[in-house]
Chains A and B, each alone.
Chain A
Amino acid sequence: DAKTTQPTSMDCAEGRAANLPCNHSTISGNEYVYWYRQIHSQGPQYIIHGLKNNETNEMASLIITEDRKSSTLILPHATLRDTAVYYCIVRVLRTGANNLFFGTGTRLTVIP
């Protein structure tokens, strides 16, 4: 699975959009981009995933560049409860490959 690079930490004002970048320049054509987050002392939580097209769900939007070498997770209106470590993971979907490789992630702090 391709390696990802994320900033170590970011701050965001409450109510503003939080834009979390991720570089995955060695991504292969069949690898998906996943985002998980981990709120302090809890298990990671799935947020969103995508292959090529931009995706949106009730939690966030995922913007993937046309060359797929980078992506951005957007939390449209950050709240204090969004303070967490956000992990960008690139993986192939195949049987017997449910192992996720978590990097160091981005620690997002939402400021009141």
Chain B
Amino acid sequence: KAGVTQTPRYLIKTRGQQVTLSCSPISGHRSVSWYQQTPGQGLQFLFEYFSETQRNKGNFPGRFSGRQFSNSRSEMNVSTLELGDSALYLCASSLAGTGSREQYFGPGTRLTVT
């Protein structure tokens, strides 16, 4: 079974631009979560999508948004990029149900904002 895939793997953007990252979950997984990892703040939860609906959200500004498609693929968007948005963005998928036991992470997209 293929793992979680994320595209692109690396991205360089300029301040003020916007960016869209993509995540394809493991086949059959309906929940997709996004995390941001920076050296200063560590791994932080952004949001989770299930059945095309956001059902959980972390403490990030509205510039960070996401969506999920009917095939469970998910995208996250960051608008008006700031230097501090430079980070590794990780996507994780899991089975649906009453609290999924394991989350499977992708390799991440490394975003650099200059």
Given contacts A96-B55, A98-B33, A98-B56, contact A44 B43 (CB under 8 A): yes
Within 8 A of A (CB), among B36-66: 42-45, 48, 50, 55-56, 58
> Which residues of A sit under 8 angstroms from B98, Cβ to Cβ?
93-95
Distance from A106 Cβ to chain B, minimum over Cβ atoms (Å) = 13
Say if the beta carbon of A100 comes within 8 Å of chain B. Answer: yes
Given A41-B108, A92-B99, 18 other A-B residues pairs in contact with their CB atoms under 8 A: A41-B88, A42-B107, A43-B4, A43-B90, A44-B43, A44-B90, A44-B105, A45-B105, A46-B103, A93-B98, A93-B101, A95-B97, A95-B98, A96-B56, A97-B99, A98-B94, A98-B103, A100-B43
Name the interface size band of chain A: 20 to 34
Q: Show the binding face of A for B, using Cβ within 8 Å.
A: 38, 41-46, 49, 87, 92-104
| Least CB separation from B53: chain A residue | A96
A96-B98 Cα distance, complex, nearest whole Å: 8
- Least CB separation from A92: chain B residue: B99
Interface SS of chain B = strand
Neighbour of B107 across the interface among A43, A46, A49, A100, CB < 8 A? A43
22 intermolecular pairs with C-beta atoms under 8 Å apart: A41-B88, A42-B107, A42-B108, A43-B4, A43-B105, A43-B106, A44-B105, A46-B104, A49-B102, A87-B43, A93-B101, A94-B98, A94-B99, A98-B33, A98-B48, A98-B50, A99-B33, A99-B58, A101-B45, A102-B35, A103-B42, A104-B42
B108-A43 in contact (CB<8A): yes
